[in-house]
Chains A and B, each alone.
Chain A
Amino acid sequence: MAFSTTVSQRKHIKRKAPRGFLKHVFKRQKPHLRLETSGDLLVHLNCLLFVRRLAEESRMNAFESKCGVIKKEHVQAAAKLFFSPTQPELRGMKENC
C-alpha cells in the first residue's frame, strides 16, 4: 500500500486520533468495561484501516458503475460487504493486505 505522509489535497487531514471521542464511545457502549491507555490508539488504527477499506471498496464500486462520483449506493454496497457474513469480507481483505 502506498502510504504518503504528505497530504496533497487541499483538505488538511489531521492525523491526530480523536482519543476522547473513542473513549467516550467505548464508555457509552460498554460502561462495565475499561479501555487501556494505548488501546484507543489501536482502536483508532482499526478505524483508519476500516475507513480505508471502505473507501477503496466504494471507489471500486463507483468505477464499475462508471461514475465519477461516489454515490450513496456504492458506499452501501461496500458496507454490506463488511457487515454481512465475514467470509467474503475476509477474501476481500486478504487481497488488500
Chain B
Amino acid sequence: MAEAMAESYNRDSEPTTRTLLRRVLDTADTRTPRRRRSARVRRLSSPTKMNVRRRSHRARSIGRLAHVHTSGNLEEQTPRTLLKNILLTAPESSVMMPESVVKPVPTPQVVQSSRRESSRGSLELQLPELEPPTTLALGLLAPGRRKQRQRLSVFQQGMDQGLPLSQEPRGNGSASSLTSSLNLTFATPLQPQSVQRPGLARRPPTRRAVDVGAFLQDLRDTSLALASPGDSLRTPVATLPTDTVLEDTQPFSQPLIGRSPSVYHSLPCLSHTEAEDAERAVSHRIQSSGPRLQNHNPGKPTQLLAGKAKKVDALAVSFPNNSSAVSGEDGVEPLQDGVGEEAEERMEESLSVSKVMATTGTQGSVRMEKSKGHREMTEAAEAKEPEGSSGASPELASSTTEFLQARQPQFLEPAPPPSTAVLSSEPLEPLSTRLPPRARTPGPRARTPGPRPRQDPHKTGLSHYVKLFSFYAKMPMEKAALEMVEKCLFYPNPFGSLDKYFQHLCDDLEVFAAHAGRKTVRPEDLELLMRRQGLVNDQVSLHVLVERHLPLEYRQLLIPCAFSGNSVFPAQ
C-alpha cells in the first residue's frame, strides 16, 4: 500500500477525478475489515495527516477528524460506501479546490459544512458515517492543484447565491464554500456557468403574447373537424378524445395530468384580461341573484365556461413553454371535449330549468341567455327576450361572451337547430362546439322532432363502416359499390332470403346467449362468434385481434390489466 500511496502522491500533478478516486480507494481499501486495520490505519493516517498538514490549516483539522473518525468508525465504512460518497461528492469537472479558497474557510465551518454536505451528499447513509469520507475527500482534494482559481471563486459566489434556493436550508451559506469546492451535483450545475457566462444562463422562457383569440379559434376548428361524425356518443365513452389522439394519449391521462398542474400554476400568470373576465363572471353570477336554483344553474355553466376559458387560455399561455405543440393541442382538445361533455349534460338540466324560469321572466336567466346569445343568436335573442331588460349586464357578461365568441366563432355559421326553444339552445350553443354538428342528430333527445334526427345516427354509423370499407379496399370505388356495401351490412339481401351482416350477428349472439342460459350478451358470446367465423383460433386469440385493430382506449376497456393496489381493470 505504501507504493500505492507514493503513486498517488506522485500523481499530484494531474489531479483528476480518477486520481482522486484512486486515492480514495487506496486509502479506503485499507479500512475494510478484511485488512489489518490497525497497522494500515496508523500508517495511513499519519501520511494522511502529513499530506493534509502540508497543504492547509483546514486540511489539518480534516485529517484530525479523519483520524478520529476512521479509528472510530472503521466498521461502518466500506470502500463501497466511501466510493459512493466520493462519487456523489466528486466534482463534475476536474476543478480542484485551490488553496486560496480553502484557506479562508474557517475550521469550525468544516465540521458543520461537512456534516451538512454529508447529509446532502448521501441521503441514504447515516450522518456520522459520512463525515469521514467527506473529510477524506476534502483532505484529498485540498492538496490538489489550484486550477481555475478565478472560476471557482466566482463559482463559489454563485453557489452562495444558488444554494439557499436549491438545497434544504439546513445550514447557512457558509457551507456553500465547502460544497462549492466539491462541486456538488445537487445544486444546479448550470448556475456557476451562468455567473461567468451569462449567455448560457437558462433564461426564463419568453412568453410571447399569444393571440388567444386566434389560438382558440384554431383549437375550435380542429376540434370541430375531428368531432365525431354526428352519431350520438353521449355515453361516458364520449369523454374519449378525438380520433387523432385516440391511439396516442388517453383522455385526461398522465400527459394531461402533468400538464394540468402546470395549467394551474400558470393560472396566476394569466393575463390581466382573463382575470378580469373571471371577475366579471363572478360578479355576473352574484348579480343574477334571483332564485337560488336559477342562480346556480347559470352560475355553473358560467363557471364551467370561465374555468374552461381559463384552462384553455392558461394552456395557451403555457403553450410556448411546452415543448410539444401537438401534445398541447391534444391536451386542450380532450380537456375541452371532456369539460364540454360534462357541461353539456349540465346544460341539459339547466335547460329545462331555464325554460321554466324563462316563463317567469326572471332577470338572471334572461341576462344569462341574453349575454350568451347576444353575439351568436342576435335575431333569436331579440325575438325572445326583452332587450331592455338589462343594458348593463350584457356589457358585463359581454366580456365573457367575447371570450366565448373568440373561441366559438363557428356558431354564427351553423343554422340554429330546429328547436322551438331558441332560448334553450342559446346556453347550449356556446358551451359545446360539438353540439352544432351533432345537434342535428339528437336522436334520443325528445325535444327535437322529426324523422331526420332519428335516421342520422343510423346513417352515420353505417357510413362509418362504409368509409372503412373504402379505406381497406385501397382502390377507387363506384358509388354503386358503396351502396352495395351498405346493403351488405345492414339491409336484407335482395337476392334471396338471407339476412345481412348485422342481422346475422344479432341472431347468432342471441343463440349463443340463450345457449348459455343468459339474456345478456356477454363478451364470451362474441368470442365464440368470432371463433366460429374463423377469426379467432388457436393461433390467434381474441386479445391479439383487439390489440391489432382497436385503439388503445378500447383495448384497455376490453383486456383486463392489473393495476397498482391489487386491482384489475376491467373487473372480472
Contacts and interface: CB of A to CB of B under 8 A. Distances in A.
8 interchain residue pairs of minimum CB distance: A21-B461, A55-B472, A93-B534, A42-B526, A29-B506, A18-B461, A55-B473, A72-B480
B460 interface: yes
Contact of B237 (A12, A19, A55, A82): A19
Interface stretch (B37-45, B295-303, B313-321, B546-554): B546-554
For the residues of B in contact with A, the DSSP-based class is: helix
A54 B513 contact: no
A45 B546 CA distance: 7
B464 A11 contact: no
Nearest to B536: A97
Nearest to B227: A14
A58 B481 contact: yes
A23 to B, nearest CB: 8
Interface in A44-97: 44-52, 54-56, 58-59, 62, 68-72, 74-76, 79-80, 82-84, 89-90, 93-94, 97
B214 interface: no
B243 interface: yes
A75 B488 contact: yes
B392 interface: no
B521 A38 contact: no
A70 B477 contact: yes
A20 B234 contact: yes
Contacts of B291: none
Contacts of A16: 228, 233, 240, 243, 246, 551
Nearest to A27: B506
Given A20-B234, A34-B521, A69-B476, A97 B535 contact: yes
Contacts of A34: 519-521
Interface stretch (B78-86, B164-172, B182-190, B493-501): B493-501
8 contacts: A13-B468, A15-B247, A16-B551, A18-B231, A20-B232, A36-B523, A42-B542, A71-B480
Given A15-B246, A39-B521, A93-B533, A20 B557 contact: no
B269 interface: no
A39 B523 contact: yes
Interface of A: 1, 3, 5, 7, 9, 11-22, 24-26, 29-30, 32-39, 41-52, 54-56, 58-59, 62, 68-72, 74-76, 79-80, 82-84, 89-90, 93-94, 97
A39 B522 contact: yes
Contact of A54 (B464, B485, B545): B485
B503 A20 contact: no
Nearest to A26: B506
A90 to B, nearest CB: 5
A51 B468 contact: yes
A42 B523 contact: yes
Interface string B217-251: 00000000010110111110100100100110000
Interface in B397-437: none
B275 to A, nearest CB: 37
B154 interface: no
B169 to A, nearest CB: 50
B271 interface: no
A18 B550 contact: no
A27 to B, nearest CB: 10
Interface of B: 226, 228-229, 231-235, 237, 240, 243, 246-247, 443, 457-458, 460-462, 464-465, 467-478, 480-481, 483-485, 488-490, 493, 495, 498, 500-507, 509-510, 513, 519-523, 525-527, 529-530, 533-535, 537, 539-540, 542, 545-546, 548-551, 554, 557-558, 570
A33 B513 contact: yes
A21 B234 CA distance: 11
A18 to B, nearest CB: 4
Contact of A35 (B247, B521, B554, B558): B521
A35 B240 contact: no
B60 to A, nearest CB: 68
B548 A24 contact: no
A15 B243 contact: yes
Contacts of B504: 83
Contact of A50 (B470, B478, B498, B501): B501
Given A19-B235, A20-B232, A42-B530, 20 more contacts: A7-B471, A11-B470, A15-B247, A17-B550, A19-B233, A21-B461, A24-B458, A29-B502, A34-B519, A37-B557, A41-B557, A42-B527, A45-B549, A52-B468, A69-B477, A71-B478, A75-B481, A75-B485, A83-B501, A84-B498
B475 A51 contact: no
Q: Pick the most buried of B470, B481, B510, B525: most chain A CB atoms within 10 A of its CB.
A: B481
Nearest to B229: A14
B476 A70 contact: yes
A4 B541 CA distance: 20
B488 A20 contact: no
Nearest to B554: A41
A3 B400 CA distance: 46
B502 A3 contact: no
A43 B503 CA distance: 12
A76 B232 CA distance: 31
Contacts of A42: 523, 526-527, 530, 542, 546, 558
B502 A25 contact: yes
A21 to B, nearest CB: 3
A36 B520 contact: yes
Contacts of B534: 89-90, 93-94, 97
A16 B226 CA distance: 11
B468 A48 contact: yes
A79 B533 contact: no
B465 A47 contact: yes
A97 B537 contact: yes
Contacts of B237: 19
Contacts of B246: 15-16
A46 B243 CA distance: 19
Nearest to A70: B477
